[in-house]
Amino acid sequence: MKNQTGKIYRWLLLLPIGIIPTMPSMIIGGSTTMYKRGDIVLIPFPFTDLSAAKTRPAVVISSPLYWRIRAEYLLSYVSSQVSKANPELDYKLVDWEPAGLLKPSFVRPKIAAIDPSLVVHHVGKLSTNDLSAVDTCLRQAMSL
């Protein structure tokens, strides 16, 4: 949900771990929107030990081909704790405000495959320059 300025409501980002709000679109069959590479969505991002998930923004990094074959999204973790960013692997977003994020943020190469029904909200879209830099960081992290 967005307020009048188009920003996502702050309470959505502060939900306790594992709590996913029920949105009207989820009640009536879920979202039918197809998200594209570079879109930022709010999802329950799983912890690495799979013990729980935290509702947070993530960047869609999968291709249309992946979506057509798997009908799911590959997403990369977004965090606003910029002081914890590793300059060798993480990318600090330059255009974080136009992308719909509330705070300076970075993209980390933590990747999850998520069913589209788990997308809580579409936050925004990365700029072309930020998406290109994220691609570079992902390639470096995976030696591609």
pTM: 0.75
pLDDT number for residue 49? 83
C-alpha to C-alpha distance for 107 and 74, rounded to whole angstroms? 14
* Separation between Cα atoms, residue 42 and residue 52, nearest integer Å: 16
% of residues, the chain, pLDDT over 70: 78
Helix (H) or strand (E) holding 30, with range, is none
* Residue 82 predicted with pLDDT over 80: yes
* Average pLDDT of the residues in 134-140: 95
Write down the mean pLDDT value for the chain.
Answer: 82
Q: How confident is the model at residue 34 (pLDDT cuts 50, 70, 90)?
A: confident
The two three-digit tokens of residue 6, written as one number: 């188009």
Would you say residue 85 has pLDDT above 60? Answer: yes
The H or E element spanning position 11 is: helix 10-13
pLDDT band at 7 (very low <50, low <70, confident <90, very high): low
Does residue 98 have a pLDDT over 80? yes
Of 113, 112, 111, 109, residue with least CA distance to 133: 109
> Which domains are seen in the chain, by residue range?
10-142 (2.30.30.110)
Identity at 12, one-letter amino acid code: L
